Structure 1
Amino acid sequence: MAIDAPAILGEPITFPNGMSAPNRFLKSAMTERLCTYDDNDLDARGKPTPEYVKTYEEWGKGQIGVVVLGNIPIHREGLEAKKNAIIDKTSTWDPVEAFKPVIAATKAHGSLCIGQLTHGGRQVSEDVSKHPVSSSDVQSPPLGGMTFAKPRPLTIEEINDLVDRWAYAAEVLYKAGADGAQLHGAHGYLLSQFLSSRVNKRTDDYGGPLENKSRIVFRIIDEIKKRVDTSKFILSMKLNSADFAEGGFTGDESKILCQQLEAAGLDLIELSGGTYESLAFEHKRESTKQREAYFIEFAQQVRPMLKKTVLCVTGGFRSAHAMAEAVSSGATQMIGLARPLTAEPYLCRDILAGKSQGAKPNKGTSALTTGLSIIQIGAMSTGQPIPDLSNEATCKDLEAVLMGKKSMEEIKQAKPHKEQETKAYQGDGQSRAQ
Structure 2
Amino acid sequence: MDPVDVLSQPVKLPFSGKVVPNRFLKSAMTERLCTWDPDNRAECGKPTEAYVNLYKKWGEGQTGMIVLGNVPVHREFLEAAGNAIIDKTNSWDAVEAFKPVVAAAKAHGMLVIAQLTHAGRQTAAHISEHPVSASATKTPDGAMGMTFKTARAMTEEEIWDAIDRWAFASEVLYKAGADGVQLHGAHGYLLSQFLSPRTNLRTDQWGGSFENRSRIVFETLKAIRKRVPDEAFILSIKINSHDFIDGGFDEQDCTAMVERLEAARVDLIELSGGTYETSAFEHKKESTIRREGFFVEFADRMRPHLKQSVLCVTGGFRNVGPMADAITRNTCQIIGLGRPLCAEPDLPKKILERQVTGAKENVLPFQLQIVAAVLQIHAIAENASVYDVSTKEGADEIGDILQGKKASPRPESAKYPLVGSGRS
TM-score category by the smaller chain?
Answer: over 0.9
- The aligned residue for residue 382 of structure 1 is 382
- The aligned residue for residue 50 of structure 1 is 49
How far off is 1:263 after superposition? Answer: 0.2
Does structure 1 residue 186 correspond to structure 2 residue 218? no
* Aligned pairs for 1:319-338 within 5 A: 319-338=319-338
* Aligned pairs for 1:22-33 within 5 A: 22-33=21-32
Alpha carbons 1:21, 1:66 under 8 Å: kept: yes
Alpha carbons 2:282, 2:294 under 8 Å: kept: no
Larger radius of gyration: 1
- The aligned residue for residue 301 of structure 1 is 301
Alpha carbons 2:59, 2:106 under 8 Å: kept: yes
How far off is 1:207 after superposition? Answer: 0.8
Instruction: Give CA deviations for 1:352-401 in whole Å, capped at 9, x if unaligned.
Output: 11111000000111111111000100100110011101012221221221
Alpha carbons 1:290, 1:296 under 8 Å: kept: no
Alpha carbons 2:95, 2:172 under 8 Å: kept: yes
SS in 2 for 1:271: strand
SS in 1 for 2:286: coil
TM-score (norm 1): 0.92
In the alignment, the residues of structure 2 paired with residue 382 and residue 94 of structure 1 have an alpha-carbon distance, to the nearest angstrom, of 25
Alpha carbons 1:289, 1:322 under 8 Å: kept: no
How far off is 1:410 after superposition? Answer: 11
- The aligned residue for residue 114 of structure 1 is 113
How far off is 1:230 after superposition? Answer: 3.8
In the alignment, the residues of structure 1 paired with residue 395 and residue 134 of structure 2 have an alpha-carbon distance, to the nearest angstrom, of 38
- The aligned residue for residue 286 of structure 1 is 286
**Aligned Cα root-mean-square deviation (Å):** 1.3
- The aligned residue for residue 13 of structure 2 is 15
Structure 1 residue identity aligned to 2:10: P
- The aligned residue for residue 209 of structure 1 is 209
In the alignment, the residues of structure 1 paired with residue 90 and residue 203 of structure 2 have an alpha-carbon distance, to the nearest angstrom, of 33
Alpha carbons 1:19, 1:231 under 8 Å: kept: no
Structure 2 residue identity aligned to 1:204: D
- The aligned residue for residue 102 of structure 1 is 101
Give aligned-pair identity as a percent: 55
Structure 2 residue identity aligned to 1:321: G
In the alignment, the residues of structure 1 paired with residue 287 and residue 112 of structure 2 have an alpha-carbon distance, to the nearest angstrom, of 34
- The aligned residue for residue 6 of structure 1 is 4
CA 1:122–1:410 in structure 2 vs 1: closer, same or farther (change >3 Å)?
closer
How far off is 1:145 after superposition? Answer: 2.7
Does structure 1 residue 357 correspond to structure 2 residue 364? no
SS in 1 for 2:182: strand
Structure 2 residue identity aligned to 1:281: F
* Aligned pairs for 1:164-313 within 5 A: 164-287=164-287, 289=289, 292-313=292-313
Alpha carbons 1:244, 1:274 under 8 Å: kept: yes
How far off is 1:144 after superposition? Answer: 3.7
Unmatched tracts of structure 1, length 5 or more: 412-434
Alpha carbons 1:11, 1:22 under 8 Å: kept: yes
Unmatched tracts of structure 2, length 5 or more: 412-424
- The aligned residue for residue 123 of structure 1 is 122
In the alignment, the residues of structure 2 paired with residue 318 and residue 97 of structure 1 have an alpha-carbon distance, to the nearest angstrom, of 36
How far off is 1:97 after superposition? Answer: 0.2
Alpha carbons 2:7, 2:23 under 8 Å: kept: yes
How far off is 1:288 after superposition? Answer: 5.3
In the alignment, the residues of structure 1 paired with residue 29 and residue 248 of structure 2 have an alpha-carbon distance, to the nearest angstrom, of 23
The runs of at least 4 consecutive aligned structure 1 residues that moved more than 3 Å come to: 288-291
Alpha carbons 1:290, 1:297 under 8 Å: kept: no
Structure 1 residue identity aligned to 2:208: G
Q: How many residues are paired up? A: 409
